């Protein structure tokens, strides 16, 4: 039986379900929850298994996490949702729509999604595992990783929230989540079957998942568009919340007018 994720929610209307990265839980989308709710959407930011008060799962993989997301959609009896993923959450979002496309109306992938190539592995996975292997606390890991991977335009309050969210993660879960990143191996043939309307958002200065990787993914997905935020690194929802939420709402509102 899949683990049901705990979540925070606000607002009423079409449901936007948000999936965080390995680096932090639902707080990644704290500004977005308020922005979406104020514009007539029901925003749900989940804590994936092992994060917050959600029990962990074994094995820890995008496939298992996707099953938890689908279980939550079923448990809440949601209409087809807009699924927003950040980092690892983007891989989980893709896995979710591949498993049950009827439950997903739209996709937004931020700073993640494509299977990792060698440079992305070196910039995303290796420094995090090295910090864990060095025996650092999560607070120390945040102090090491964040300055290397934020953009030069990141807002200070957002950086503080990134640091706080990362500090809240349990080290063992963090290791499992980081190790799950390279295990996502959905190939172009599988991804090309995703007909869901998709927006890909990336920071121009993201070393983990650079804009060219997202552009390559956009060429594979049948209905995808890209947006790049200048001066932003790996955490667009918190480094540049106004711009990120603006792109998200513009995408949602255009789709809403079309339907």
Distance, CA of 6 to CA of 43 (rounded, Å) = 14
Encode the chain (259 residues) as per-residue pLDDT tens digits: 678 999 999 999 999 999 999 999 999 999 999 999 999 999 999 999 999 999 999 999 999 999 999 999 999 999 899 999 999 999 999 999 999 999 999 999 999 999 999 999 999 999 999 999 999 999 999 999 999 999 999 999 999 999 999 999 999 999 999 999 999 999 999 999 999 999 999 999 999 999 999 999 999 999 999 999 999 999 999 999 999 999 999 999 986 555 5
> Is residue 32 a contact partner of residue 8, using CB atoms and an 8 Å limit?
no
To the nearest 10 degrees (0 to 180), the angle between helices 126-133 and 171-180 is 150
At residue 162, the pLDDT reads: 98
Helices (H), 39-135: 62-75, 88-99, 118-120, 126-133
At residue 12, the pLDDT reads: 95
Which of the 8 DSSP states describes residue 204?
A: T
Q: What are residue 3's phi and psi, to 5 degrees? A: -75, 130
At residue 3, the pLDDT reads: 86
> Is residue 218 a contact partner of residue 107, using CB atoms and an 8 Å limit?
no
> Is residue 211 a contact partner of residue 112, using CB atoms and an 8 Å limit?
no
């Amino acid at each position: 039986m899949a683990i049901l994720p705990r979540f925070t929610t606000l607002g009423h209307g079409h449901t936007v379900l948000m999936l965080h990265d390995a680096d932090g839980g639902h707080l990644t989308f704290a500004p977005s929850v308020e922005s979406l709710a104020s514009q007539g959407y029901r925003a749900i930011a989940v804590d994936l298994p092992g994060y917050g008060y959600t029990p962990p799962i074994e094995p820890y993989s995008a496939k298992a996490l996707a099953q938890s997301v689908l279980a939550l959609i079923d448990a809440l009896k949601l209409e087809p949702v807009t699924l927003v993923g950040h980092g690892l959450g983007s891989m989980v979002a893709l896995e979710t729509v591949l498993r049950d496309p009827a439950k997903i109306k739209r996709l937004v992938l931020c700073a993640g999604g494509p299977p990792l190539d060698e440079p992305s592995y070196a910039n995303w996975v290796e420094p995090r595992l090295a910090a864990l292997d060095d025996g650092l606390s999560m607070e120390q890991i945040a102090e090491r990783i964040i300055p290397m991977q934020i953009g030069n335009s990141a807002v200070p309050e957002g950086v503080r929230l990134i640091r706080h969210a990362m500090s809240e993660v349990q080290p063992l879960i963090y290791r499992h989540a980081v190790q799950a990143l390279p295990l996502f191996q959905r190939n172009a043939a599988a991804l090309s079957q995703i007909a869901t309307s998709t927006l890909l958002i990336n920071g121009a200065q993201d070393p983990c998942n650079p804009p060219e990787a997202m552009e390559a993914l956009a060429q594979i997905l049948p209905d995808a568009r890209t947006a790049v935020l200048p001066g932003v690194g790996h955490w667009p929802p918190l480094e540049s919340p106004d711009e990120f939420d603006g792109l998200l709402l513009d995408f949602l509102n255009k789709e809403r007018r079309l339907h």
